[in-house]
């Protein structure tokens, strides 16, 4: 990244990303923070779980994001009767001239940006059909492995208020998502703009700014961003502090947390920080980059106990304890 021509190339690609950001902000009003976190997750090469009320523009946002990044968009509407083959695809039998041949018919998972809509409405068996795709970038049908297109990203949505007829995502599935982001209700000012825009002419979809190879190049550059050993240690100590049986655990952590975060959470924090640094035009991660990604990386990986639910304690309420514990150990 120190080569002048490389710096110019990256600067050009980052300028295109900023154009995508501006287009998305103009298309999906009042969600600037969410859009920024989504771009960080995509540049870090990860998948995202979106949680929010209906009617907040999640589908429009994901479709516009795929269009802006030059990715093929596919949508899977998860329902209780959805089968794994409806997601991954199936093997068909063709009979020509008395001879039978087998042909693989790809499912909607074979996309660049896959929207898994209301993912927790499907049964655990169907949910599990995403595990190999999200982790390995491939699906295996009838003993044959099929590679997915690259880049490949899953953005899943779930509704926090619909409990009847849903199946909670297991920890192994949640851990596959780099970030879990909350889609908040827009402010009154943003709502006025939304009402004005959506009740007049049709909303323009974001135009493509990047090619697939551009995005792959940026994702490779994210890996090259430097992260000092003291920041890696800070992340490791913070992850340890989320475990109630660790010596770093605070009184509130021992009281409210059942299970702490995994090593994959630390990877999400560091990769997210590297993507933030790259977007800011920096070649090295700062502490602020790490802290900005703590909640999106941890809110779905730290399992709270019943007492936390009873008193309304959330992962966000414990973050400061973990940061202070990590600071004490690093210093």
What residue segments make up the domains of the chain, in order of their start? 225-331
Residue 330's pLDDT band, with cuts at 50, 70 and 90, is confident
Q: Is the dihedral of CA 126, 168, 121, 313 positive or negative?
A: negative
247-256: string of b/e by CB count within 10 Å (b at 16+)? ebbbebbeeb
> Would you call 183 helix, strand, or coil by DSSP?
strand
Nearest to 317, CA basis, from 275, 255, 230: 255
Mean pLDDT of 253-282: 95
Query: What tokens does 326 get?
Result: 């990590």
* pLDDT for residue 170: 83
* pLDDT for residue 110: 93
* pLDDT for residue 297: 96
Instruction: Convert the pLDDT of each residue in 273-325 to its tens digit.
Output: 999 999 999 999 999 999 999 999 999 999 999 999 899 899 999 999 999 99
Q: Which range, 92-106, 241-255, 266-280, is most confident?
A: 266-280
Query: What tokens does 60 get?
Result: 């429009």
Residue 4 has pLDDT above 70, yes or no: no
Region 225-331: CATH code: 1.10.8.80
- Cα–Cα separations (whole angstroms), residue 26 to 20, 22, 197, 302: 10, 6, 10, 34
Burial of 315 (0-12, 13-18, 19+ CB in 10 A): buried
* pLDDT for residue 52: 82
Residue 203's pLDDT band, with cuts at 50, 70 and 90, is low
Residue 226's pLDDT band, with cuts at 50, 70 and 90, is very high
Instruction: Convert the pLDDT of each residue in 31-60 to its tens digit.
Output: 899 999 999 999 999 999 998 877 778 888
The overall average pLDDT reported for the chain is 88
Residue 188 has pLDDT above 60, yes or no: yes
Burial of 101 (0-12, 13-18, 19+ CB in 10 A): exposed
* pLDDT for residue 245: 93
């Amino acid at each position: 990244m120190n080569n002048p021509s490389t710096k110019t190339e990256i600067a050009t690609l980052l300028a295109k990303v900023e154009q995508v950001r501006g287009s998305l902000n103009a298309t999906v009003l009042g969600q600037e923070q969410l859009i920024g976190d989504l771009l960080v997750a995509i540049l870090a090469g990860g998948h995202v779980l979106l949680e929010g009320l209906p009617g907040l523009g999640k589908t429009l946002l994901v479709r516009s994001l795929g269009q802006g990044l030059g990715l093929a968009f596919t949508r899977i509407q998860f329902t209780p009767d959805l089968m794994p083959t409806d997601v991954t695809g199936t093997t068909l039998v063709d009979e020509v001239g008395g001879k039978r041949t087998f042909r693989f018919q790809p499912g909607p998972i074979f996309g660049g940006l896959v929207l898994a809509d209301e993912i927790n409405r499907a049964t655990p068996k169907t949910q599990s059909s995403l595990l190999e795709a999200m982790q390995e970038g491939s699906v295996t049908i009838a003993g044959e492995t099929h590679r997915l297109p690259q880049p490949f990203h899953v953005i899943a949505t779930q509704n926090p208020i619909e409990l009847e007829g849903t199946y909670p995502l297991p920890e192994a599935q949640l851990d596959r998502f780099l970030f879990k982001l909350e889609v908040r209700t827009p402010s009154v000012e943003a709502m006025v703009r939304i009402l004005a825009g959506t009740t007049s002419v049709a909303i323009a979809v974001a135009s493509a700014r990047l090619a697939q190879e551009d995005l792959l190049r940026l994702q490779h550059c994210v890996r090259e961003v430097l992260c000092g050993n003291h920041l890696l240690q800070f992340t490791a100590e913070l992850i340890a502090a989320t475990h109630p049986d660790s010596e770093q655990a605070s009184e509130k952590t021992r009281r409210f947390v059942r299970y702490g975060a995994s090593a994959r959470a630390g990877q999400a924090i560091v990769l997210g920080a590297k993507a933030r640094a790259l977007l800011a035009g920096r070649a090295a991660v700062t502490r602020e980059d790490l802290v900005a990604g703590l909640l999106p990386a941890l809110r779905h990986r730290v399992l709270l106990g019943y007492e936390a639910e009873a008193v309304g304690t959330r992962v966000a309420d414990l973050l400061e304890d973990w940061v202070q514990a990590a600071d004490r150990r690093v210093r």
